[in-house]
Amino acid sequence: MKILVLQDYLRSGGTERQSVLLSRAFASSGHGSHLLTFRPGGVLASTVDGAVTCRALQPFDTGLDWFAPGLMGAVERLRPDIVLCMGRMANCYAGSLQGLMQDRWPHVAVIATMRTGKPLPWLFRRSLRQVRHIVANSREAAQTLIDAHGVAMGKITVIYNSLVFPPVSPGTRNPALREKWGASPATGILLNVAMFRPEKNQRELIEIVGDLPRDANLQLWLAGDGPARAECERLVAQRGWGDIIKFIGYERDPAPLYAAADFAVHASWSESLSNFLIEAQAHGLPSVAYAAQGIAECGLPGETGFVLARGDRAAFRATLTRLLAEPLATRMRRAAAARAFARETFDPARQSASYLELFQRLTAKPPP
C-alpha cells in the first residue's frame, strides 16, 4: 500500500509524535510511507526515518498552521491508497480531500482521526460526515463522535496511541538528575511533560502543588516549552515557589525524567488519551489527573490512574498527599501494575498492526 500521513507541522506535541511513529512503522512493514506537512521544519523533523518520504507544502515557514498550498495537487500526484489525517488542521481538509479524490480514484480511503477533547471547527465536523472512516484514540472519543456528531458506530475504529519512548528497566532510578534539581532521595517528584499551552493547564498544577504544606518534601517538574511557559514562570516567581516548582525545558527524549520521578500529574481539561500519561504508566509512574476525554483509559482507575473531577483542587491535593505517604511496597506494586498495563495496551507493534488491518479492509473493496 501507499500510505500518506497528513500533518500540519512537526512541533513537539503528542499527535505529531504519533504521526512520525506511525509513518516509520508503516515503512518498516514494507509499505510506501509518506509524511506530508503544511509547514516545513519543527523540532520533530529530524526524527523522521529515512525510509519515510517527508516533504512540506510551504516553501518557507509562514507560521500559519492552516496554510496548505498545493495540497490537492500533491495528493493527486502521489495517488495514495490511504490518506491518514492527523491533527486538527489536517482533519479540516479531510472532507475536501475525500470529495476531490473519491470520484477520480475510488480506491483512495481518506481517514479522519479524533484525537482531541477540544471543540471541533466547522470544517472538521464537516469532514467527519464525508470521510470513509474515522479512527478515535479512545473509547470516550468514539462515544463523543456518536453522541455529539452523529457518526455511525460502524464508521469508527478505536486505536489507542502508541508508546513513543521505550520504558527503562524496572527499578532503574536517576539520582544524578534528581540531585541536579535539588531533590534528595526522599523527595517526592511530581512530573508533567507537555507543551506549555493554555489548554495543558500547567498553571493549575503549579497552584495545586504550591499550596501544599511546605514540609511535604516534594517537587513539581514541568518539562516542555511553549507560549504559556513565561506566564507560569512569572507566577512561580511572584509566589516564591521556585524551590519546589522546576521548569525543566523541552526534552527530546523524556525517558530520564520518568526514571527520576515518582508520580505523573496532569490538569488538562481538553485531552483525548494523553501520550504523557501512557508513557508515564509504561515507566511505572502512577498518575493523578483531572477527568477529560480518554483520561480514564490511560491507566487502571483507582490502582495506577486516579481521575478526579475537573477543578477539584482539594481532591487533587488529598490524593497526592495519600500516595506520597504510601509505603514502598505499595508504591512498587502500583508501579509494576502500571508498567504491565501500559506495555500491553499501548504496544506500538500492536497499534500499527491495527492501522494496517483497517487500511487493508478499507481498500479491499472500493465504496459503491
Read off the pLDDT of residues 230-282 as tens digits, 9 standing for 90 and up: 999 999 999 999 999 999 999 988 999 999 999 999 999 887 899 999 999 99
Read off the pLDDT of residues 282-330 as tens digits, 9 standing for 90 and up: 999 999 999 999 999 999 999 999 999 999 999 999 999 999 999 999 9
Q: Kindly give, in sequence order, each residue whose CB lies less than 8 Å from that of residue 44, ignoring residues fewer than 6 positions away.
A: 10, 11, 12, 16, 17, 20
* Structural domains in the chain, sorted by start: 2-161+347-364 (3.40.50.2000), 175-345 (3.40.50.2000)
**Alpha helix (H) residue ranges in 79-111:** 88-102
Give me the long-range contacts of 235-240 (CB less than 8 A, separation at least 24): 235/203, 235/206, 235/207, 236/206, 236/210, 239/210
Write out the three cell numbers for 118.
Answer: 477540544
